[in-house]
Structure 1
Amino acid sequence: MFSNSLTDYEFTKAFKHGKFCSVYKANCTVNNRVLVVKKYSLEVDDDAELKRLFAEIQCCRQFNHPNINKILNSFIVDSDVYVLHPYMCFGTCELLLKTTFCNGFPETLIALIFKDVLAALLYIHSNDFVHGSVRALHILLDGNKAVLSNFHESRSFIKHGKKKPVLHGISHEKHLNWAAPEVLDQNIHGYTEKSDIYSVGITACELANGIQPYFETQPTLMYTEKIRGNVPSLLDRSTYTMLLDDQGKIPFENATSRRTYDIYSQRVLSDDFHQFVEICLNRNAENRWSAKKLMTHAFFKQCRHASITDYIKKCRSELDTNSIMDDNDDDVGIIASLDDHAQECREDIEWSF
């Protein structure tokens, strides 16, 4: 059980300060649990944000799944709402892309992450909900699992006791680059839970390439490309040649881009991974596999004898840049190292638990 008294929580680190929302790491002195506390101000004159907050709390209270970020407790003190979540020691996948895996996650780690994400989506879809904003920012990792967070954009098929065949409405503008074309269409045909599968494909490219999808692309062009069926692809040796111009040169002028694409040209991602992404990004929603079927894809064979904990330990030389680990305390070292990254990046990264 968690207390509703603010005095029972010791705030140890600030991840984010915002006008509406601030995020902290805290210790609960009642049960000695490490938590993430999100503090929302009720004094901010933004009814839309408040409605989204209360809708998310209501939605998450209905879910109970190991791969969905739990709300452990919520309470109001003065003019602030405090929402408690479990502490995920590695933070968001977006944070790791910016601090550790700058050229993309290793394929096996991506498979381990999406095995958990799809388990969460299967549960959500079976309960007649759509998540609505699957992206690296909303996937959290600790030593044992990945969890899906942020249900601000989630919608239910159930309305007035009846199930609707499709949903309508568009995601927040911050998440449009990950949205399926049928969501962007905003027509009478609406969209279904397959829109989340499309977002999985976009996020897979984001994690593998280390590049935010449609980065610096105008929204109109992004929408046009999606409608035409042109989508991001996994960048490796097999797709690198497609990026060359007629003279066999890279169509990028700055040195950073040339260096980055030279890295991509040397790596090989499996055919199963390429096929997995192609299935997710099919323009026709009916041809995309369900979360349940995707979990049987050959892409996940590499997960059979691996875990997120084991795989991150293999990468500990990258994670532990300060050599603070000791042989008997691997996880503590990784957590401390990542906390250092979080401290350095907290002004730039939007922590979204």
Structure 2
Amino acid sequence: MCSNSLADYQFTKVLKHGRFSSVYKANCVGNNHSIVIKKFPLEHGNDAELKKLFAEIQCCRQFKHPNINKILHCFTAECDMFVLYPYMCFGACQILLESIFTNGFPEALIALLFKDVLSALMYIHMNDFVHGAVKAGHILLDNQKAVLTNFHESRSFIKHGVKIPVLHGVSQEKNLNWAAPEVLDQNINGYTEKCDIYSVGITACEMANGIQPYFETQPTLMYTEKIRGNVPSLLDRSTYTMLLDDQGKMPFENSMTRRTYEIFSQRILSDDFHQFVEICLNRNAENRWSAKKLMTHAFFKQCRHSTISDHIKKCRSELDNNSIIDDESMGQLDDRDVNECREDVQWNF
């Protein structure tokens, strides 16, 4: 049972400072368990941000699933609101892509991550919700599992006790690069939970390539390409030459991709992975598989005899040489599970 008193929490590290909130790592004084505390100023807070926070709390309180980042407790003190979450020691996958896996996660690790993400989405969709903002920055990782977080854009199909067939409205501008074309259309046809599946496909490319989708691409061009059915793809030997245009240049070329073309042109990703992404990124939402059906795809066969913990151990050298991972925890990356990670690991809510 979490306490409503600040005195019962020892704040140990600032994880993030934002315009409307701050995120801290803390220990519960009673049991010394590590948690994450998000602090919102109520007195000078932004009304729109607070409404999103309250909506997220209300939404998350309805969910109970091991791959959904749960809210442990929330309380007010000294004109501030404090929301408590479990501590995920490796933080957001986006941070790992920027700091360690700059050329993308290993394919087997991606499969393990998406097995957990799809399990969470299947649960969310069964409860008549859409997440609305699936991306690497909203997937948290520890040595045991991946969890889906940030339900600011989550929407319910239940309105006034009745289930509606489609949703309308667009998500935040910062999530548009991951949004499905039917979401960007903003027409009377609306969109369904299949918009999350499209975001899974974009996120798969993001995790495999180590590059944010449509990086340095103007929003208008991004929208046009999605409507035409052109989307980012997995970059490996099989797609490298196909992506070159008539002048031998890469579309959506930028400084980051230019530095990694040589690596992409030498590596090989499985046919199952390519097919998995193609299914997710189908322009026609009706032709995309559901989260439940995707979990049966052959892409996940490589998960049968391995765990996230196994792959964290394989990546020990990369993690050990990076400042965001705790030296103390790296010493525990043997046959036992990591119980703690570096105090200055970054979070992205």
Same fold (TM over 0.5): yes
Aligned match of 2:332: 329
Note the C-alpha offset of 1:79. 1.4
Q: Deviations over 1:234-291 (max 9, x none)?
A: 0000011023344646679988644310000010000000000000000000000000
AA of the residue aligned to 1:318: E
AA of the residue aligned to 2:56: E
Aligned match of 1:225: 225
Aligned match of 1:119: 119
TM-score, reference length from structure 2: 0.93
Q: Secondary structure at the match of 1:166?
A: coil
Q: Deviations over 1:13-49 (max 9, x none)?
A: 1011123110000001123210010001112352211
TM-score, reference length from structure 1: 0.92
Kindly report which structure 2 residues correspond to 1:22-171, keeping only aligned pairs within 5 A, or say none. Answer: 22-171=22-171
Aligned match of 1:16: 16
Indicate how the Cα distance of structure 1 residues 7 and 106 shifts in structure 2: closer, same or farther if over 3 A, else same: same
AA of the residue aligned to 2:105: F
AA of the residue aligned to 1:168: H
Indicate how the Cα distance of structure 1 residues 290 and 44 shifts in structure 2: closer, same or farther if over 3 A, else same: same
Aligned match of 2:211: 211
Distance 1:215 1:75 in 2: 38
Note the C-alpha offset of 1:294. 0.1
Distance 1:120 1:140 in 2: 12
Note the C-alpha offset of 1:221. 1.0
Note the C-alpha offset of 1:352. 2.8
Indicate how the Cα distance of structure 1 residues 172 and 161 shifts in structure 2: closer, same or farther if over 3 A, else same: same
Aligned match of 1:3: 3
Distance 1:219 1:255 in 2: 18
Aligned match of 1:352: 348
Indicate how the Cα distance of structure 1 residues 336 and 147 shifts in structure 2: closer, same or farther if over 3 A, else same: closer
AA of the residue aligned to 1:352: N
Distance 1:157 1:326 in 2: 43
Note the C-alpha offset of 1:325. 6.2
Note the C-alpha offset of 1:327. 8.8
Q: Secondary structure at the match of 1:91?
A: coil
Indicate how the Cα distance of structure 1 residues 302 and 11 shifts in structure 2: closer, same or farther if over 3 A, else same: same
Distance 1:255 1:187 in 2: 35
Indicate how the Cα distance of structure 1 residues 190 and 339 shifts in structure 2: closer, same or farther if over 3 A, else same: same
Note the C-alpha offset of 1:169. 1.0
Indicate how the Cα distance of structure 1 residues 165 and 274 shifts in structure 2: closer, same or farther if over 3 A, else same: same
For the 8 Å contact 2:143–2:337, the answer to whether it is kept is: no
Indicate how the Cα distance of structure 1 residues 7 and 270 shifts in structure 2: closer, same or farther if over 3 A, else same: same
What 5-or-longer segments of structure 1 have no aligned partner?
none
For the 8 Å contact 2:329–2:339, the answer to whether it is kept is: no
Q: Deviations over 1:141-199 (max 9, x none)?
A: 01110000000000000010000000111101110100000001111111000000000
AA of the residue aligned to 2:150: N
Indicate how the Cα distance of structure 1 residues 15 and 301 shifts in structure 2: closer, same or farther if over 3 A, else same: same
AA of the residue aligned to 1:330: L
AA of the residue aligned to 1:231: V
Distance 2:195 2:256 in 1: 34
Aligned match of 2:292: 292
Q: Secondary structure at the match of 2:282?
A: coil
Of all paired residues, the percent bearing the same amino acid is 75
Aligned match of 2:315: 315
Note the C-alpha offset of 1:321. 1.0
For the 8 Å contact 2:329–2:340, the answer to whether it is kept is: no
Aligned match of 1:176: 176
Aligned match of 1:305: 305
For the 8 Å contact 2:35–2:87, the answer to whether it is kept is: yes
For the 8 Å contact 1:197–1:291, the answer to whether it is kept is: yes
